[in-house]
Amino acid sequence: MQKVGLDEKQTRSTIRKQILTVFFLPLIFAFLHVAAVFHMLRLIVALLGVTNLPLLIQTTLATCGVFLLTYILVFLLTSRSYHKIVAR
């Protein structure tokens, strides 16, 4: 990207924006999907005998949090690797 006139900071910013969209758009839709089906999930879990709603909410949020942290880590690693490839 330096060949087309972008400096290091602009290159890093452009790469980050492109990868950010590719990585986090599916995650956003996944979280929206979980929110949309939460009522059905609650009913299914209730059939199994678990009626503790705060526990279900905490578990769901913790699971979403783990996915978010994993996505952030993979995003940072991918962004760095992609930048090294483009900088060559």
Burial class (CB in 10 A: 0-12, 13-18, 19+), 66: exposed
pLDDT > 80? residue 77? yes
Q: Which amino acid is at 50?
A: V
Give pTM, 2 decimals.
Answer: 0.77
Domain ranges for the chain: 2-87
Q: Dump pLDDT digits (tens) for 31-69.
A: 999 999 999 999 999 999 999 999 999 999 999 999 999
Most confident range, picked from 7-16, 57-66, 71-80:
57-66
